[in-house]
Amino acid sequence: MKIVTTMKKMKYFLLMMVVAATTLVSCESLVDGLNDNPNKLTPEDVGAELFLTGAQLANIVTQNGHLNRIAGMYSGQLVGYTSLYSNIYGYNLSTVESNSTWRAIYVGVVPQVREIRRKAPDDKLLVGIAKVLEAHAIGTAASLFGNIPYSEVADPEIPDPKFDDQIEVFNSLLDLLDEAIVDLNDGVSRNLSEDIYYGGDKDKWIQAAYTLKARYYLQLKQYDQAYQAARDGIGSDDASMKFYPRGDETTSGDKNLFYTVLAGSRGGDIGNHGSYLMSMICPDTSWSRNNAKTNENARYWYYEIHEEGGPVNKGIIGMFEPMPMVTFAENQLILAECAARTVNFATALGHLNDLRAWLNSGAFLNDAFADSSYLYEAYNAADFASGGIENPDGVDPLQALLREIIEERYVSGFGTYMPFNDVRRLRKSDSDLIVPFPLNPGGTDQPQRLPYAFTEINANSNISEDPGLYEVTPVNR
């Protein structure tokens, strides 16, 4: 009897054990799929072209942001007066300063333009633009940092991309630009408001792609290929790739970047008063480049930065002043330099004079400086002959012409990486051509590169430390 009772009780107990066991087969199906975010769109929801503006903005801060200003300070163009910029001006540059630009390149540009290509492989205009943007941003990275991650980037399957040789990176980019040119040629221009550079004009993109090719060939010192590429490059100023600020005076986040820096709490920190560049185009200095055919007066006032910031800046860092990225001037000067190196004196001089003719049209100025005087008369061979206005020291005329072309690159290139790239490119075999800007106070050597980002060094197992500012990058060895 007792045993039976116990058995009976056990039955219920065992039943509960069974129920326990079955309930423990918990139902994931009841909660599946609920974790899809209803507040954010998926990549599939969003059209390919909607990724373009963000990528272009990231590229703008890459080309015209913090590192550009630092490169300017390391090539006699800008001066850091106080706070962080005075430290950097004295060559105290931490890897942290590269974080934001590195992020813009590797997070802001590359994954985004690849997403465009993934989503719209048949939209040749978009695909071409995407490739040019990638080549532009990565090319800037390669020229600034040297060896960089490229072949394995933007792939979530590869947590730590390896660092590729700088020369290989440039070669890959040249291939990518060739592809881009093919794509763009196959594509059709259309009104593309997301393209804040060129508004969907494929011809301008093709020209920009050729100028970038020329830029990279130039950095690889393959001057004949550079010349060939530049012949199809940006042929007029309206095809120059620039950042055009927007909005009205009350909006923010859409203005000239340099203006924005000085307008905020950084006023007084950085400017160009006292820089070598400004003294070159100031008529009062002994090393002024003004001569009988050249008057830089208007350009001086246009270039002048009022470091205290604010609306007093009406020139090159005015609130709405466009910022140069890939320009007609750069292309002309590549043509001129490469022609001088690989074609002949006359052709080179012709290219230089084309640029001077454009300068003499005053088109580089904005309306605020329309009344200032300037002169860029065409040079002739005599000007470069020994004792000519561009050859007082009697060097070889071709050398004198090259020197003038490099100097023009130094002046016209204000606001781009061109002057910083040139001083490093010409270091080994053409040091006599370098614009002789002095080192900043406290400096012992010319920086040869900018540091990798701290965030990358910290996280990427393929690198343990930055090689430093003075390590010569492979293309310039």
Partner 1 sequence: MKEKCLCGAIRRVGAFFLRRIGVLLLGGLLLAGSGPGLYAQALRVITGHVMDANGDPLPGASVILKGTTTGTVTDAKGAFKLSIPDTGHDTLVVSFVGYESVTVPVGLDNVYDVRLPLANRRLNEVIVTSLGFKVKKDESATTSSTVSSEEIVHSGEPLVLNALGARASNVYVARTNGDPGAGTNIRIRGANTITGSGAPLVILDGVPISNSTIYGGGNGGRDGGVSQQTRINDINPEDIESVEILKGAAAAALWGSRAANGVLVITTKNGKAGRLHINYQMTYSMDQVNQRYPIQNTYGQGRNGVYNPKSAESWGDYIPDRAGGEDDVDMTGRYFEAYGSGKKYYPILTKNSKETYVDSNWDDVFRTGGFLQHELSLSGGSQKTQYFFSFGRLDQNGIIRESYYDRTNARINVKFVPNSWFSSNTKAGYISSSSNRIQQSSNVAGVMLGLLRTPPDFDNHDYFGIYYDDNGVAYRNHHRGYRRYLGDGVPTYNNPMWTIHQQKSTSDVDRFLMMQEINIKPISQLRITLRGGVDRFGDHRIYFFPINSAGRDRRNGLLNEDMITEQELNFDAIVRGNFSLTDNLKVDATVGWNINDRQRQYNSGSVQGFTVDSRKPTTDLNSSAEATSFSNYYRDIRSNRGYYSFTFNILDQLFVTASGGLEAASSINGAFFYPAFDAAWQFSDLGLTSDFFSFGKLRASWGKVGVQPLPYRFQTLVDAGFTYSTYSDPLSVNQFGGGFRLDNNLGNPDLKPEMKTEWEIGADLRFFQDALSLSATYYSNRIDDLLINVGLTPSSGYETIYANAASMKNHGFEMEADYAVVDHHALKVNLTGIFAANRNEVTDLSGVESISLAPGSVDSRAMVGYPLGVLVGTGSLRDENGNFILDDHGFPQLTPTPVVLGDPNPRWTGSLGADATWKGFAFRILFAHSHGGAYSPRTLWVLRRFGTVEETAHRVTLDQDLYNFRGDLVPAGTTVRGNIEDFGGGPVLLDESWYRTGIGGGFGDNQAYNFAIYKATWTRLREITLSYTLDSKNFRARTRLSALTFSVSGRNLFLWDNIPGVDPEINQSGVNNGFGLDYFTNPSTRSILFSFTLSY
Beta carbon of residue 179, minimum distance to partner 1 (angstroms, whole number): 20
Beta carbon of residue 14, minimum distance to partner 1 (angstroms, whole number): 10
Distance of CA 54 to the CA centre of its chain: 15
Q: Which is nearer to partner 1, 199 or 394 (CB)?
A: 199
For residues 461 and 457, give the distance between their C-alpha atoms in angstroms, rounded to a whole number. Answer: 8
Among 120, 167, 192, 196, binds partner 1 (CB under 8 A): 196
For residues 96 and 86, give the distance between their C-alpha atoms in angstroms, rounded to a whole number. Answer: 16
Q: Where are the alpha helices (DSSP H) in 385-448?
A: 397-412, 418-425
CA distances from 438 to 77, 83, 273, 467 (A): 11, 22, 15, 24
Query: For residues 386 and 399, is the Cβ–Cβ distance under 8 A?
Result: no
Beta carbon of residue 195, minimum distance to partner 1 (angstroms, whole number): 11
Q: Which is nearer to partner 1, 7 or 382 (CB)?
A: 7
Give yes or no for residue 161 binding partner 1 (CB under 8 A).
Answer: yes
Give yes or no for residue 376 binding partner 1 (CB under 8 A).
Answer: no
Q: Where are the alpha helices (DSSP H) in 242-309?
A: 257-263, 276-280, 297-303
Q: Which is nearer to partner 1, 112 or 391 (CB)?
A: 112
Element at 206 (helix H, strand E): helix 202-219
Give yes or no for residue 158 binding partner 1 (CB under 8 A).
Answer: yes
Per CB under 8 A, the segment of 108-116, 122-130, 366-374, 426-434 that binds partner 1 is 108-116
* Window 223 to 252, contacts with partner 1 (CB under 8 A): 246-247, 251-252
* Window 408 to 467, contacts with partner 1 (CB under 8 A): 453, 455-456, 458-460
Among 28, 249, 284, 393, binds partner 1 (CB under 8 A): 28
Strand, helix or coil at 289?
A: coil
Neighbours of 396 (CB within 10 A): 13
Element at 111 (helix H, strand E): helix 110-119
Give yes or no for residue 217 binding partner 1 (CB under 8 A).
Answer: no
Give 80's strand partners. 270
* Window 135 to 154, contacts with partner 1 (CB under 8 A): 148-149, 153-154
CA atoms within 13 A on the CB side of 432: 8
Q: Which is nearer to partner 1, 222 or 256 (CB)?
A: 256
* Window 85 to 104, contacts with partner 1 (CB under 8 A): 97, 100-104
Per CB under 8 A, the segment of 38-46, 173-181, 276-284, 416-424 that binds partner 1 is 38-46
Strand, helix or coil at 79?
A: strand
Among 133, 137, 261, 365, binds partner 1 (CB under 8 A): 261
Per CB under 8 A, the segment of 46-54, 214-222, 363-371, 464-472 that binds partner 1 is 46-54
Instruction: List, in order, residues 6 or more apart from 210 with CB less than 8 Å away.
Output: 177, 181, 229, 230, 231, 232, 233, 234, 331
Give yes or no for residue 19 binding partner 1 (CB under 8 A).
Answer: yes
Show the binding pattern over residues 51-80: x = contacts partner 1 (CB under 8 A), - = does not: xxxxx-xx-xxx--xxx-x-----------
Query: For residues 102 and 133, is the Cβ–Cβ distance under 8 A?
Result: no
For residues 286 and 302, give the distance between their C-alpha atoms in angstroms, rounded to a whole number. Answer: 21
Give yes or no for residue 475 binding partner 1 (CB under 8 A).
Answer: no
Among 4, 35, 122, 286, binds partner 1 (CB under 8 A): 35
Query: For residues 237 and 328, is the Cβ–Cβ distance under 8 A?
Result: yes
Among 134, 183, 194, 296, binds partner 1 (CB under 8 A): 194
Beta carbon of residue 129, minimum distance to partner 1 (angstroms, whole number): 14
Give yes or no for residue 1 binding partner 1 (CB under 8 A).
Answer: no
